[in-house]
Amino acid sequence: MIPVIQLSNISKTFGGVRALINIDFEVMPGEVHCLAGENGCGKSTLIKIISGVYTPDPGANFTLMGQEHKTLSPAQARRIGVGVIWQDHALFPEMSVAENIAIESFVGLKSKLVRHKNIKDVAQKVCERLGVSFDLDAQVKTLPIAQKQLIAICRVLVSDARIVFMDEPTASLTQSETKHLLDVVRTLTAENVAVVFVSHRLAEVLEIADRVTVLRDGKKVGVYDASEMTLAKLTEKMTGLTINPAVVGQNLTKNETVLEVKQISRTGEYKDISFSIARGEVVGITGLLGAGRTELALSLFGMTRPEQGQIYLDGKAVKFKSNLEAISSGVAYVSEDRLSLGLIQDQSIENNLISTVLDKTIVCGGLLSFKKKKAIVGHWIKELSVKLGSTSDAISTLSGGNQQKVAIAKWLATKPKLLILDAPTVGVDIGAREGIFKIVRDLASKGLSILLISDEVSEVYFNSNRVLHMSNGCIQKEYVPARCNISELEDAIYGKNI
Amino acid sequence: MEKIFKTHPIEAWLLIIIIATSAVLSMLSVQYFTLVNAFDLLNSISINVIFAVGLLVVLISGGIDISFAVAASVIQYVAFYVLSYLGGGNWFIGIIVAGGLGVILGAINAGLIHYFRIISIVVTIATFNIFFGLLMFLTKGVYLYDLPDWWANRVIIFEHEMANGTWAELTLPAVIMFGAISATWFLITYTSIGRQIYAFGDNPEGARRIGINVVAVQFIAYGWMGMMAGIGGLMQAHFMQEIVPNALIGRELDVLAAVVLGGATLGGGRGTVMGCVLGVLLMAIIQNGLNLLGVTPFAFKAIVGVIILLAITLSNVSFVELRAYLRMKRGQ
């Protein structure tokens, strides 16, 4: 049997940074192959090269379906049968399901007319082949995310894909939806279509994959049979570290309560949420994407208002009209999307850092004092050991980890009582993550209360005094890491026996 | 009925409001509900509708065009000289020349937007000024009255004498309007490139990834707009029987307002020909009604502004959500 795809000597350099270094990669027909690695290890770059979006550095060799290619364009890749399901699905929300599925059948053909009945037939056929059903006339924007995922899969099958790449396909799915997706994957492999899974949910990866290729820092670590791998071994290959972390042991619930939330609800976002955070305590919230974690955080930060229930800060009932009130009451929120919401990428490091405390740098007449600005910036850069050239450089010149530190520093400068960290390690590499969590633990030991939101179960498990599992807008259960196993928590979130 | 509200809520609402407004107006004014008035209405909205269906295509593609109305003025002048060079011309040649000139001006916009990666509003504000500035500079603001006979004379396609002796007349611009509506509807519903324009406006990055021809999308969208601007300009000169350099300036915002009222958004990917036509029609009916009722024309602009704000607010909040919200409020 010849491989569907065989790549050798793939390198990719982005302006001096080597994102991929001499990668070899092959996939057999009908195989489920997993591409595993930490954020930033080069997985997405590799997919973009295989699908023709990026051109690799010279010297690369592609053999697709037994044919050699020197270069590959997106159109060529599609013709050969490479299908990619992007993490954001790349669907067209205003258009109908049928058109979304069949769009590739009428793209690129000049002046050809569209027969809407044909489109529906094409879509219907693919749906039947996969054993899924949709209202083909519905607008895609009206559908839940799990259905969008299936639509994206249907779409690549219209163009007769022989190999399908799925980028984090299960990140926002519930257990039964994931199960359905995996059934679909099995249907595909039974038809000899190869599936390459990119996922960081390792348990599920090992469950379905035949082989695993592990990447780390742009290099290939190796290819392994999934049956020989265990969770621990795979983690070690991916991170290069034998992680033997300890959980946070202390019980701090006896400290005075800083935040208390009683039965708050907001339609369509979260329901009947009650919990408290004590002084110096780190409380983790985890759950699938779309569980309502960020929506809850936004309400605590005064950006939205709960429709029912009550929030208490230091024992006093608060009703924030805006986040300005929340900030002045001592709540700080490091938002989930650092790139577009958290930091102003084109602005300098110092301007980003003081953006929350401009009022503290003002001297007479409402002018900014450069001396005060320098003092504040200098203090926090040192405190969080941010590695930088000059504080007047643009924030975008920093690495992910250091950017996140500036984002945290910007909020610490407001001297908060409660710090909400939403997905603080997205786009931060493994070594730097430890640095961020060290800061979190230091801050907590100095008495700051922290709400840590993350979909990486291990992050909240190893860094929180208590963990809340959230799903469908509700808190399902509280876990104390010192008294439970991480797999208990993982099973609760992802479900057992996928 | 329920189904139409789900799939085409904006069109359904516009239709209801148009019917309701018409019912009120026909009670208030005996002149309103007559064939004469209906045909007058069709004749008078025809130019705006021709502009509107062109602009619709640009809005669906995720862009905007501020320059089309002055482009239409430029085309009137250039077409006038080209046609007299060709020995006078006729309707057929006139439409080809005006439409062709429009495509060229539209292609200039599309080229600047695509190749220089400037956003459409900036490009078209710039070309608006360039077109208008050059027009005034080169023509020195002269009016043209000596249009060829075929261009200046009214063409009545259908007429009917009413009982009271007045004539109900349907003229050429109205017929051309129906042509523009049908052609645009066909373009965006039944051609591959039309659907690609929708897809590109809806999700540009997604469109690029599946290999949509972005260059073609831009040039066809702005070219179509230009063509409609040219034909609309030809019709406007026909209607007024003269060419005036600043006759159309300001028209771009009226048309834009009507198209947005019809459900197209500045974000792209949304909008239907039906909605667009109903949007222009509603504006015209309100103006017509206010005229019949003797309201001063100055109030008209303010009323239109309020209607647009109301319509946009309502289209952001769907009717179902609004009802649920009101129920919840009452329940509390």
Does residue A402 share a domain with residue A329? Answer: yes
Domain of A139, CATH number, reads 3.40.50.300
Cβ within 8 Å, pair B210-A103: yes
**Overall average pLDDT of the A184-190 stretch:** 87
Q: Which residue has the higher pLDDT, A257 or A401?
A: A257
For residue A363, pLDDT over 50 is answered with: yes
Preferred mutation among A103, A157, A266 to probe B, highest tally of B CBs within 10 A: A103
Given pLDDT bands bounded at 50, 70 and 90, which one contains residue A240?
A: confident
Could you give the CA distance from residue A290 to residue A418 in angstroms, rounded to a whole number?
A: 23
Cβ within 8 Å, pair B196-A92: no
Could you give the CA distance from residue A2 to residue A224 in angstroms, rounded to a whole number?
A: 19
* Closest chain B residue by Cα to residue A107: B212
Please list every residue in chain A whose beta carbon sits closer than 8 Å to the beta carbon of residue B193: 110-111
Q: State how far Cα A394 lies from the chain centre.
A: 24
Could you give the CA distance from residue B170 to residue B191 in angstroms, rounded to a whole number?
A: 31
Does residue A302 share a domain with residue A196? Answer: no
Of the ranges A27-36, A357-366, A386-395, B202-211, the best mean pLDDT one: A27-36
Tokens of B233: 């300009």
Cβ within 8 Å, pair B199-A92: yes
State residue A331 phi and psi, 5-degree precision. Answer: -105, 135
Q: How close is the nearest chain B Cα to the Cα of A308, in Å? A: 11
Q: Which residue has the higher pLDDT, A188 or A455?
A: A188
Q: For chain A, state the CA radius of gyration.
A: 25
Give the count of Cβ contacts less than 8 A between chain A and B. Answer: 77
**Overall average pLDDT of the A328-352 stretch:** 83
Look at the block and give the residue holding tokens 């009101």.
B326
Does residue A178 share a domain with residue A263? Answer: no
Q: How close is the nearest chain B Cα to the Cα of A53, in Å? A: 8
Cβ within 8 Å, pair B191-A110: no
Q: How close is the nearest chain A Cα to the Cα of B258, in Å? A: 21
Could you give the CA distance from residue A131 to residue A135 in angstroms, rounded to a whole number?
A: 14
The identity of residue A221, as a single letter, is V
- Residue that is last in its domain, among A212, A239, A266: A239
* Closest chain A residue by Cα to residue B216: A110
The identity of residue B169, as a single letter, is E
Does residue A231 share a domain with residue A261? Answer: no
Q: How close is the nearest chain B Cα to the Cα of A46, in Å? A: 16
By the 8 A CB rule, do B182 and B228 touch?
no
Q: Which residue has the higher pLDDT, A186 or B182?
A: B182
Preferred mutation among B6, B59, B203, B329 to probe A, highest tally of A CBs within 10 A: B203
Could you give the CA distance from residue A457 to residue A419 in angstroms, rounded to a whole number?
A: 19
Q: State how far Cα B59 lies from the chain centre.
A: 11
Please list every residue in chain B whose beta carbon sits closer than 8 Å to the beta carbon of residue A110: 192-193, 213, 216
Q: Which 3 state secondary structure label does DSSP give A177? A: helix
Please list every residue in chain B whose beta carbon sits closer than 8 Å to the beta carbon of residue A111: 191-193
Q: How close is the nearest chain A Cα to the Cα of B282, in Å? A: 25
Could you give the CA distance from residue A178 to residue A497 in angstroms, rounded to a whole number?
A: 11
Cβ within 8 Å, pair B203-A91: yes
Its pTM stands at: 0.77
Domain of B122, CATH number, reads 1.10.3470
Does residue A287 share a domain with residue A215? Answer: no
Q: How close is the nearest chain B Cα to the Cα of A166, in Å? A: 15
Considering its fold, how many domains does chain B have in total? 1
Cβ within 8 Å, pair A92-B192: no
Does residue A398 share a domain with residue A323? Answer: yes
Selecting from A74, A94, A267 the residue whose C-beta is nearest the C-beta of B211 gives A74
Does residue A170 share a domain with residue A66? Answer: yes
Does residue A304 share a domain with residue A227? Answer: no
Q: According to the model, what pLDDT value does residue B127 have? A: 96
Compute the mean pLDDT over every residue in chain A, rounded to the nearest whole number. Answer: 84
Q: Is residue A248 part of a domain?
A: no
Chain A residues interacting with chain B (CB cutoff of 8 angstroms): 53, 74-75, 78, 84, 86, 88-95, 99, 103-104, 106-114, 116, 137, 267
Separate counts of helices (H) and strands (E) for chain B: 15, 2
Please list every residue in chain A whose beta carbon sits closer than 8 Å to the beta carbon of residue B7: 137
Cβ within 8 Å, pair B211-A92: no
- The range of the structural domain enclosing residue A422 comes to 257-494
Q: How close is the nearest chain A Cα to the Cα of B316, in Å? A: 14
A 10 A CB-CB count for B289 gives: 18
Q: How close is the nearest chain A Cα to the Cα of B179, in Å? A: 19
Q: How close is the nearest chain B Cα to the Cα of A140, in Å? A: 11
Does residue A261 share a domain with residue A222? Answer: no
Chain B residues interacting with chain A (CB cutoff of 8 angstroms): 7, 189-196, 198-199, 202-203, 205-207, 209-213, 216, 269-270, 328
Region of poorest pLDDT, from A53-67, A444-458, B43-57:
A53-67
Does residue A304 share a domain with residue A208? Answer: no
Region of poorest pLDDT, from A98-112, A153-167, A474-488:
A98-112
Does residue A231 share a domain with residue A262? Answer: no
Q: Is residue A115 part of a domain?
A: yes
Could you give the CA distance from residue B214 to residue B196 in angstroms, rounded to a whole number?
A: 9
Please list every residue in chain B whose beta carbon sits closer than 8 Å to the beta carbon of residue A74: 209, 211
Cβ within 8 Å, pair A78-B194: no
Please list every residue in chain A whose beta carbon sits closer than 8 Å to the beta carbon of residue B199: 92, 95, 99, 103, 107
- Residue that is last in its domain, among A239, A267, A289: A239
Q: Is residue A225 part of a domain?
A: yes
Q: How close is the nearest chain A Cα to the Cα of B209, in Å? A: 8
- Residue that is last in its domain, among A206, A239, A272: A239
- Burial class of residue A69, CB neighbours in 10 A (0-12, 13-18, 19+): middle
Please calculate the CA angle A256-A336-A294 and round it to the nearest 5 degrees: 60
For residue A29, pLDDT over 60 is answered with: yes
Q: Torsion angle of alpha carbons A169, A172, A176, A177, nearest 10°?
A: -50
Selecting from B193, B206, B328 the residue whose C-beta is nearest the C-beta of A91 gives B206
Please list every residue in chain A whose beta carbon sits closer than 8 Å to the beta carbon of residue B207: 92
Cβ within 8 Å, pair A114-B216: no
The fraction of chain A above a pLDDT of 70, given in percent, is 93
- Burial class of residue B146, CB neighbours in 10 A (0-12, 13-18, 19+): exposed
Considering its fold, how many domains does chain A have in total? 2
Selecting from B191, B198, B206 the residue whose C-beta is nearest the C-beta of A90 gives B206
Please list every residue in chain A whose beta carbon sits closer than 8 Å to the beta carbon of residue B9: none
Q: According to the model, what pLDDT value does residue A242 have? A: 60
Given pLDDT bands bounded at 50, 70 and 90, which one contains residue A175?
A: low
Q: Which residue has the higher pLDDT, B42 or A492?
A: B42
- The range of the structural domain enclosing residue B81 comes to 2-331
* Closest chain A residue by Cα to residue B264: A94
Given pLDDT bands bounded at 50, 70 and 90, which one contains residue A245?
A: low
Q: Residues 6 or more apart from A301 whose CB is under 8 A from it?
A: A320, A323, A326, A331, A333, A420
Cβ within 8 Å, pair B192-A111: yes
Cβ within 8 Å, pair A110-B216: yes
User: What residue ranges of chain B have pLDDT lower than 70?
Assistant: 1-3, 6, 314-332
Does residue A293 share a domain with residue A210? Answer: no
Cβ within 8 Å, pair A78-B190: no
* Closest chain A residue by Cα to residue B211: A75
Question: How do residues A121-132 score in pLDDT, each as one tens digit?
Answer: 989 988 888 888
Q: How close is the nearest chain B Cα to the Cα of A112, in Å? A: 6
Q: Residues 6 or more apart from B26 whose CB is under 8 A from it?
A: B32, B33
Q: What is the largest CA-CA distance in chain A?
A: 78
Q: How close is the nearest chain A Cα to the Cα of B19, in Å? A: 28
The identity of residue A269, as a single letter, is E
Tokens of A29: 């027909």
Tokens of B319: 């009717």
Look at the block and give the residue holding tokens 């290619």.
A69
Q: According to the model, what pLDDT value does residue A497 have? A: 45
Q: According to the model, what pLDDT value does residue A498 have? A: 42
Please list every residue in chain A whose beta carbon sits closer than 8 Å to the beta carbon of residue B189: 114
Region of poorest pLDDT, from A32-46, A298-312, B36-50, B144-158:
A32-46
Nearest residue to A85 (alpha-carbon basis) of A179, A212, A181, A209: A181
Could you give the CA distance from residue B50 to residue A292 in angstroms, rounded to a whole number?
A: 47
Selecting from A88, A93, A104 the residue whose C-beta is nearest the C-beta of B210 gives A104
